[in-house]
């Protein structure tokens, strides 16, 4: 993986599990930043999926970055002000890099 291709900056975040406060109210989930990484955007796909009424267009991106052990499906990527939900994480080689498929959260 060549460093020159990693020309974008992404932020990897995970949702923290918060406990109820002393009144028993559950607070909104908080997203914790795990790291800021350099990445390459490989592709952008728009897929039409069946929905309740017609079809829904989903925008997905494939990000490639150096290996980061904290990245996992269920987390999210913040890229250019947009939030993407990580759907799959595939390791490239032996801890050489990662390919993450993420869908735009609307």
Per DSSP, the three-state class of 5 is: helix
Structural domain contains residue 14: no
Beta-sheet pairing, 8-16 with 30-50: antiparallel
Establish how many alpha carbons lie within 13 A of residue 75's alpha carbon, considering only the half-sphere containing its beta carbon.
21
Structure tokens at 26: 């559950």
Residue length, the chain?
106
Structural domain contains residue 4: no
Range of the domain at 82: 29-104
pLDDT tens digit sequence for 36-70: 999 999 888 776 666 666 666 778 899 999 999 88
Q: Is residue 26 pLDDT above 70, yes or no?
A: yes
Structural domain contains residue 38: yes
- The position carrying tokens 């592709």 is 43
pTM of the model: 0.79
**Total number of domains constituting the chain:** 1
């Amino acid at each position: 993986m060549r460093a020159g291709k990693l020309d974008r900056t992404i932020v990897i975040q995970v949702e923290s599990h918060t406990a109820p406060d002393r009144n028993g109210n559950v607070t909104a989930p908080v997203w914790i930043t795990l790291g800021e990484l350099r990445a390459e955007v490989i592709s952008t796909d728009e897929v039409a999926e069946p929905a309740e009424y017609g079809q829904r267009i989903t925008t997905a991106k494939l990000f490639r970055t150096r290996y980061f052990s904290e990245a996992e499906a269920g987390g999210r990527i913040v890229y250019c002000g947009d939030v993407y939900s990580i759907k799959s994480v595939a390791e490239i080689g032996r801890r050489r890099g990662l390919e993450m498929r993420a869908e735009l959260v609307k």
